[in-house]
Amino acid sequence: MKKVIASAGLLALGAVGVYSARADWAAGADKPWTISGTLRGFYDDNYNTQPNGTPGKQHSFGFEVSPKAAISYSDGPTTLSASYTYSEKYYDSRPGNKSDQSHDFEFALNHAFNERYKMDLEESFVDSQEPEVLSGGGPITFPLRANGDNFRNTAAVNFNASITKLLGIVVGYANTFYDYTGQPAAGAVSYGTSLNRFEHQITLNSRWTIDPETVGIFGYQFNYVDYISHGSLQPPNFPYESPKTRNNYTHNIYVGVEHSFTSQLSFSGRAGIQISDYYNSQNAPGGRAGADEVGPFADLSLSYNYMENGSLTLGFRQAKNQTDVGANLNGSLTQDQESSTLYAAVNQTLTPLSPNLTASLNAQYQNSVYNGGTSFNNESDTYYLVGLNFTYQFTHYISGEVGYNYDLLESDISGRGYDRNRVYVGVTATY
């Protein structure tokens, strides 16, 4: 399959017929700002992420227009970066509203007060319909596509201090807000009722310098999930189940290590336990008592620059996450999920073919087990994501791309699983 996609990509790019002198530096590298515009044509065989064989599964050709502006600034101890990307997708065969709009704003500010103290600020805002975008890089809480304006906003601040040459601390706070609109079907619980929430995270890490290549970590994170909808997680005509019965406090206690094996190979890992307290569950129908859930917690990643213009990232995460699946008809509540996630990313310049041709491969496997509820407890969703992209730098300012994305959701819940294929070809101008 990879050979077929690679061949198609090379043919599509070769057909453009543009002089392809080597671009030794990317457009924008000589100034602190860049502006770009991308035009893509695409085919999506399941843009509503509906199960196979259902009337809701629809396919369409379309096109996407996406301008972007970015700035990067550095002055002594201070660095700043910011970007804004707008996208409008037009689906030729979709009835009714044929266009989707999305927004992505990213901001980061880093300042070193002196050699011992520094602070980082980050802000990320997205308005999208796609699950992998709204997840923000963590476990995919809601693996279905949601039409409409769906927001995720994350703001974070971290303070780093070197107490001694051997001991450092990191204190941080992050706040994430989710706001979904729309409804999966008439009479069903709305996305907003099951997903709208605040997530607060407080981090305290101690960092121990074992040697120049190794840092040991002992850390603690406190997470607070607060649902904000006043609706019911039950379908109409069934007992009322407030989303706030899913509120929880979670404590992550872990040890970790960051180690550089060589200048090209490094590892970062944290592992420990996760303790969750569903303190509001006693207010649910039937008066369920609140209880602690104890499980594993892990966040591991390996980065390897295996050759010039070639990099590999491998990772694994184990943690609880929220879910769109709510209460069953008998009034029994699904609290959340326990997710195991494997991911990999490869980026490589294909020098034997052309020094201007770059390939990237991204893959993710996620197995999420439901927690709570007599119908779905210990049932699972298994989610696969694969993305392959080829980019060719025709000139200093113009590049072309061709790519393919495949999504597969296998679910123990009837009528939830689906597969989805997306193919695209595009051109980007950057100044």
The model's pLDDT over 372-386, given as tens digits with 9 standing for 90+, comes to: 877 788 899 999 999
Compute the average pLDDT of residues 70-76. 93
Mean pLDDT for the stretch of residues 44-62: 90
Q: What angle do CA 103, 81, 402 make, to 5 degrees?
A: 55
* Global pTM value: 0.86
> Backbone phi, then psi, for 105, in 5-degree steps?
-115, 125
Distance, in Å, from the CA atom of 130 to the CA atom of 46, rounded to the nearest integer, reads 12
The pLDDT tens digits for 5-37 are 333 332 232 333 332 333 344 555 668 999 999
Positive or negative: CA dihedral 106, 345, 32, 117 = positive
Q: Provide the CATH topology of domain 2-430.
A: Porin (2.40.160)
Section 314-332 average pLDDT? 83
pLDDT digits (tens, 9 = 90+) for 398-430: 999 999 999 999 999 888 899 999 999 999 999
pLDDT of residue 283: 55
Range 227-239 average pLDDT: 77
Cα separation of 403 and 422, whole Å?
Answer: 8
Q: What is the dihedral of CA 101, 345, 2, 93, to 10 degrees?
A: -10
Contact assessment for residue 265 and residue 358, using Cβ atoms and an 8 Å cutoff: no
Q: What's the mean per-residue pLDDT of the chain?
A: 87
pLDDT at 178 exceeding the cut of 70 = yes
- DSSP structure class, residue 334: P
Neighbours of 395 (CB within 10 A): 15
Between 147-156, 213-222, 238-247, 318-327, the lowest mean confidence (pLDDT) is in 238-247
- How much is the pLDDT for 173? 98
Residue 230: its pLDDT value, please? 83
Q: 341 is written with which tokens? A: 């996630």
Distance separating alpha carbons of residues 172 and 284, to the nearest angstrom:
33
Q: What is the pLDDT of residue 24?
A: 41
Residue 114 burial by Cβ neighbours in a 10 Å radius (0-12, 13-18, 19+): exposed
| Percent of the chain whose pLDDT exceeds 90 | 66
pLDDT score of 27: 54
> What percent of the chain is predicted at pLDDT more than 70?
87
Q: What is the pLDDT of residue 331?
A: 56
Residue-wise pLDDT for 102-141, tens only, equals: 999 999 999 999 999 999 999 999 999 998 898 887 889 8
Q: From CA 78, how far away is CA 385, in angstroms rounded?
A: 37
Closest CA to 316 of 294, 296, 295, 344: 344
* Domain residue limits, the chain: 2-430
- Per DSSP, 51 falls in state P
pLDDT of residue 184: 74
Binning pLDDT at 50, 70 and 90, where does residue 1 land?
very low
pLDDT at 272: 97
Distances, alpha carbon 318 to alpha carbons 23, 26, 74, 177, 330, in Å:
41, 37, 36, 22, 30
**104: how many CB neighbours lie within 10 A of its CB?**
17
Q: How many CB atoms lie within 10 A of CB 193?
A: 22
The length of the chain in residues reads 431
Among candidates 398, 403, 393, 396, which has minimal Cα distance to 428? 398
User: Measured between alpha carbons, how far is 102 from 67 in angstroms, rounded to an integer?
Assistant: 11
What mean pLDDT do residues 247-251 have?
Answer: 94
Based on its alpha-carbon atoms, the radius of gyration of the chain, rounded to whole angstroms, reads 23
Instruction: Quote the DSSP letter at residue 235.
Output: P
Confidence grade of residue 96 (pLDDT, cut at 50, 70, 90): confident
More confident residue, 125 or 324: 125
Q: Taking phi first (over 0 means left), then psi (-120 to 50 degrees means alpha), and beta for anything else, what does residue 134 get?
A: alpha
Residue appearing with tokens 């550089």: 260
The amino acid that residue 322 corresponds to is Q
Q: How much is the pLDDT for 116?
A: 94
DSSP letters, 273-302, are EEEEE-TTGGGSTT-PPP-EEEEEEEEEEE
If you average pLDDT over residues 209-216, what whole number do you get? 95
Q: Is the pLDDT of residue 268 over 70?
A: yes
Check residues 131 and 315 and name the one with the higher pLDDT.
Answer: 315
pLDDT of residue 414: 86
